[in-house]
Structure 1
Amino acid sequence: MHTITIVGASVAGIRSAEALRSAGYDGRLVLVGDDPHRPYDRPPLSKAFLAGDLDAEAIGLLDAEEEAGLALEMRLGVAAARLDPAGGRVVLADGGDVATDGVVVATGGRARRLPGTEGVEGVHTLRTLDDALALGAALRAGSPRVAIVGGGFIGAEVASTCRSMGLEVTVLDGLPLPLAPVLGPRIARSCVDLHAGHGTDLRPGAAVAGLATVPAREARGRRVVGVELGDGTTVPADVVVVGIGIVPNTEWLEGSGLRIANGVRTDAGMVTDLPNVVAVGDVARYGDGDAGRRHEHWTSAGEQAAVAAANLLADAGRPGATFRPSGYVWSEQYGRMLQLAGHPSAADHVDVVDGEPADGRFVARYVDGEGVTTGVFGMGNPRVFGRVRRSELGRPARAA
């Protein structure tokens, strides 16, 4: 391959560039991204960057030396409009194109919005640096009341940041126990208690019916003054943050011959139906058969990139690499590091092996019906979490 084009300039795209160079690829490497900013890390957007403790330079994914070492040809601020496999090119939204031999699809996703909220003043999502700048400015304007729709990790991190700024925060989640489908009821309860212990008003089982709005003060349109719930009540709010997941960015791939179903379908090696096209990160739905899954986490993007790069460069007929996710996920909330590794089921038995959930600092393991440790969770204790993860994950559980 003489030219490889990576479409998407977030962590999955940058890790793919690094993996390709590490695997020995020395050809032309083009990075296309619709975001006008230099590649940056997303996790700080809901935490230190949103709080104003970091600037844009501090969250860059590459310093000058690293960027020079990758020899990237960057096309930033322009979206990919179409993939033309027959012509061997990526067509860009500005009318240009990139002739290419291989493609890495790393276009991620965009924040899902509540219906009818487009253009309403005071309603925010948090996915990009510009989103974080706009939300940060709103949070600093007169101590607003904040309502967050969605009690997952993004919603929880924004709630934590807002509380650190002294703001009144209400989190609305439709589940009876937020995070329970992922973490199981016992661990999910400890995450809920963390909110309560820091003054956040978390309301589980809250069905959002719409927004309460009034005419905007300085422009035509509406501004939000509250969130209307299904029970007829309204939660007053000057700022509403919507954190209800993402929509994979796949529209530009229509007509390309790739299978699109809640993401770009790939095999277990991150290779699409076109052998010279791989997909990584939030947009990739990997796995054989009809199941497949997307794993929307920072660590997973890097793990997938290494596998995808190896398979993109592999000689025909050589056994391909297989993506085996570690399942590692982390979040920072209220001064605590929350960490999860492995692939537990919500039905697995939970053993606390260090600390106490009531104290907000503990490590627990998930154990399946065969007595095997399927996952490890830690809150506020990274050192013990790491030790338990290394010694017990995937092995028969030892006596606590």
Structure 2
Amino acid sequence: MADPTSNQTFIVVGGGQAGGRAVEGIRKAGFDGTVILLAEEERAPYERPPLSKQVLTGEAEPDSAKLREDGWYREHGIDLRLATRAGRIDRARKRMVLADGRELAYDRLLLATGAQPKVPGLPGVELPGVHVLRDVADSLALRDAMRAGARVALVGGGYIGLEVAAAARKLGCDTTVLEAAPSLMRRQVAPELGDWYARLHRDHGADVRLEAEVARLLGSARVAGVELADGSRIDADLVVIGVGIRPNVELAMQAGLDADDGIEVDDQGRTSDPEIFAAGDVTRQPTPYADGKIRLESWQNAQNQALVAGQAMAGATAVRHADLPWFWSDQHGINLQMVGMPTGPVRHVWRGDPAAGPGFTLFYLDDGGRLVGANAVDRPADIAAVRRMIERGVSPDPAQLADPDVSLKKLLKGQA
């Protein structure tokens, strides 16, 4: 008997990591119909983490970040359309209207439209020499500008700002990090760990300024510096804005889908329209590790949620996305891994001595003593055990958790 889905057409909008993994999920679930992948860029889907690390420093070229070799899409019957921009969704007629006016009929649609860097409305932000970092073109433009001796100012002390700062120092640039909060990576880690990273960057020659509110960017023909709210000025040949991202929800909102700070989806990636799915940075999704729906900006989410959404789109009923959130950042050769979603009042428990350098872990316990998160600095082996502890709702003895001589695996098994 012929496959009843073989005459159907699925369209995936977005050529980033989530879009690429979504089409993999569709084929993995056995869908035998037409699959169209629309990518705005002129590149096949790729991962973004290398853009602020190896690609930025010149240690790797953009092609190294590709999800699949070019032939994979042909071999798996994916109609990959590069440099193609979606315009609007006609839900009543089940048509994707492209920016050039052409229309594509769909049976099911998946939005993996990602996000874009937030750009504050600062005077001078439009000047040449002001950069953001989101795609390959951004990374290559920034790499070309970050020549040895260049003065680089980073507005924002989150992951992106700090990874770019580390790359700038490695390339021999005079580097200043400007963070409005009292500590670095304020949204991701405890203030004490943010302070540790401030010392790390200072030890590598960067000027790290906390509680530094930017008032405007200076320059006429191109950017020449940054002026802070206190009147102080930092000379700069280029400025990198890294103050977060905002989800590209325009298509979804135009179509009347439930969306605000992200497209609302369930644990299979289904939106408020049962024939439309979404995945990646653009979504707000349920998680057993936090109250309500959250939006996750991570490699893991772009990968795993998209695989689930693609499979569910193709009719798989058993798949669900309920991963424990996990993030990582590499700065100055030091690996930081974060797992869990600690919120509300938490107790900090340190394993190892931060004053002695890398090789320690910070645990987060909720007010009931349950382990809800951890940050491991050059201790990747801790993360696997911590992940299982959080998933199982373990409440470890804080004294044993802090003792490096106590095996985390034994703590997990209750044998310590």
State the TM-score, normalizing by the size of structure 2: 0.87
Partners of 1:57 and 1:306 lie apart in 2 by 22
Partners of 1:282 and 1:237 lie apart in 2 by 31
Partners of 2:236 and 2:99 lie apart in 1 by 38
Deviation digits for residues 325-373 of structure 1, max 9, x if unmatched?
Answer: 3110001100011101112236321222245354122123211121111
The Cα shift of 1:381 comes to 2.2
Alignment-derived partner of residue 126 in structure 1: 133
The Cα shift of 1:309 comes to 2.5
Partners of 1:99 and 1:69 lie apart in 2 by 23
Alignment partner of 1:191 out of 169, 190, 197: 197
Q: Does residue 93 of structure 1 match 2:99?
A: yes
Alignment-derived partner of residue 381 in structure 1: 379
Alignment-derived partner of residue 340 in structure 1: 338
Partners of 2:355 and 2:366 lie apart in 1 by 21
Change (3 A) 1:259 1:392: closer
Partners of 1:70 and 1:344 lie apart in 2 by 41
The Cα shift of 1:193 comes to 2.3
Q: Does residue 60 of structure 1 match 2:60?
A: no
| Partner AA of 1:190 in structure 2 | W
2:89 partner SS = strand
The Cα shift of 1:151 comes to 0.4
1:41 partner SS = coil
Change (3 A) 1:357 1:41: farther
1:182 partner SS = coil
Contact 1:17 1:70 in 2 (8 A): no
The 10-residue stretch of structure 1 (232-241 or 52-61) with the greater mean CA deviation from structure 2: 52-61
Alignment-derived partner of residue 8 in structure 1: 14
Alignment-derived partner of residue 397 in structure 1: 396
Contact 1:190 1:360 in 2 (8 A): no
Deviation digits for residues 185-244 of structure 1, max 9, x if unmatched?
Answer: 232222222222212111111111111113xxxxxxx21111111001111111100011
Alignment-derived partner of residue 235 in structure 1: 234
Equivalent positions of 1:254-265 (< 5 A) are: 254-265=253-264
Contact 1:152 1:243 in 2 (8 A): yes
Partners of 1:182 and 1:377 lie apart in 2 by 9
Alignment-derived partner of residue 248 in structure 1: 247
Q: Does residue 323 of structure 1 match 2:329?
A: no
Change (3 A) 1:357 1:68: farther
The Cα shift of 1:300 comes to 0.9
* Alpha-carbon RMSD: 2.1
Deviation digits for residues 48-100 of structure 1, max 9, x if unmatched?
Answer: 10101111221211114533443210111121000111111111112222211
Q: Does residue 293 of structure 1 match 2:286?
A: no
Contact 2:30 2:314 in 1 (8 A): no
Alignment-derived partner of residue 28 in structure 1: 34
| Partner AA of 1:225 in structure 2 | A
The 10-residue stretch of structure 1 (150-159 or 186-195) with the greater mean CA deviation from structure 2: 186-195
Equivalent positions of 1:139-218 (< 5 A) are: 139-140=146-147, 143-214=149-220
Contact 2:178 2:212 in 1 (8 A): yes
Change (3 A) 1:284 1:93: same
The Cα shift of 1:160 comes to 0.6
Please list every run of 5 or more consecutive structure 1 residues that lacks an aligned counterpart in the other structure.
215-221
Change (3 A) 1:234 1:379: same
Contact 1:184 1:347 in 2 (8 A): no
Partners of 2:108 and 2:296 lie apart in 1 by 23
Change (3 A) 1:325 1:6: same
The 10-residue stretch of structure 1 (95-104 or 290-299) with the greater mean CA deviation from structure 2: 290-299
| Partner AA of 1:131 in structure 2 | D
Change (3 A) 1:347 1:210: same
| Partner AA of 2:141 in structure 1 | A
Change (3 A) 1:11 1:201: same
How many residue pairs were aligned? 388
The 10-residue stretch of structure 1 (34-43 or 390-399) with the greater mean CA deviation from structure 2: 390-399
Partners of 1:127 and 1:273 lie apart in 2 by 28
Change (3 A) 1:118 1:28: farther
Alignment-derived partner of residue 405 in structure 2: none
Alignment-derived partner of residue 104 in structure 1: 110
State the TM-score, normalizing by the size of structure 1: 0.91
Partners of 2:75 and 2:324 lie apart in 1 by 28
The Cα shift of 1:26 comes to 1.8
Deviation digits for residues 287-337 of structure 1, max 9, x if unmatched?
Answer: 49x95321111101122113323432338xx6x754313110001100011
Alignment-derived partner of residue 143 in structure 2: 136
| Partner AA of 1:284 in structure 2 | T
Partners of 2:258 and 2:296 lie apart in 1 by 18
Alignment partner of 1:351 out of 335, 349, 352: 349
| Partner AA of 2:135 in structure 1 | T
Contact 1:173 1:203 in 2 (8 A): yes
The Cα shift of 1:22 comes to 1.3
Change (3 A) 1:276 1:117: farther
Contact 1:269 1:322 in 2 (8 A): yes
The 10-residue stretch of structure 1 (21-30 or 254-263) with the greater mean CA deviation from structure 2: 254-263
Change (3 A) 1:117 1:45: farther
Partners of 2:344 and 2:389 lie apart in 1 by 22
Contact 1:192 1:202 in 2 (8 A): yes
Please list every run of 5 or more consecutive structure 2 residues that lacks an aligned counterpart in the other structure.
402-416
Contact 2:124 2:219 in 1 (8 A): no
